[in-house]
Amino acid sequence: MERIPILKMGHFLLVTIQVDMHDRLALTLQDDLTNQILKTGAHGVLIDISSLEVVDSFIGRMLGNMANMSRLLDAETVVVGMKPAVAITLVELGVSLKGVRTALNVEKGMELLQEPLRSKAGARGDEQQEG
């Protein structure tokens, strides 16, 4: 069965959607992703949809769902590289992905994910100095 690969990069999981998303694929991805977060203990998920040309309301909702599920499992999700046409379609469909963080490209998305980790590390460092 066709699957979308989920790669582990340090504390983060990287999902790159390179094919046309159909409903079954999206559901499988949702399953795999939640399992992988639990297994790896990842702190962040980066979903790259820069090759995604076509979306419908279902795929739009799935993106939102995946982000919310990841947050429940303590992993921040960033959706990166959405194409203008896809963005316009989603807005017209009324799917505005409220609460999902977005970035222009993978690089900026990674920065977004690393920010909270860095501040956490900083806070821990302060505590240690105090102690």
Partner 1 sequence: MGKNSKSRIPEVLKKFEKELLADWVKEQLSTIALRRDLVKEPELRQQSADFLALLREAAQSGNLNDITAPEWASAREMLGGISRSRAVQGFTPSETATFVLSFKQPLLTRLREEIGKDPETLFDEIWAAGILLDKLGLYTMEVYQKSREEIISRQKMELLELSTPVVKLWDGILALPLIGTLDSARTQVVMESLLQRIVETGSSVAVIDITGVPAVDTLVAQHLLKTVAAARLMGADCIISGIRPQIAQTIVHLGVTLGDVVTKATLADAFMIALQRIGLAVKKNT
Binding site for partner 1 (CB under 8 A): 79-84, 86-88, 90-92, 96-97, 102-105, 108-109
Helix (H, G, I), strand (E, B) or coil at 15: strand
Q: How far is the CB of 30 from partner 1 (least distance, A)?
A: 20
Closest CA to 77 of 106, 97, 101, 105: 101
Q: How far is the CB of 97 from partner 1 (least distance, A)?
A: 6
Strand pairing class (101-103; 76-80): parallel
**Is 44 or 81 the residue whose CB approaches partner 1 more closely?**
81
Beta-strand pair 76-80/44-48: parallel
Based on CB atoms, which residue is closest to partner 1, 75 or 82? 82
Pairwise CA distance, residues 71 & 43, whole Å: 9
If the CB atoms of residues 42 and 52 are measured against partner 1, the closer one turns out to be: 52
Cβ at position 37, least distance to partner 1 in Å: 22
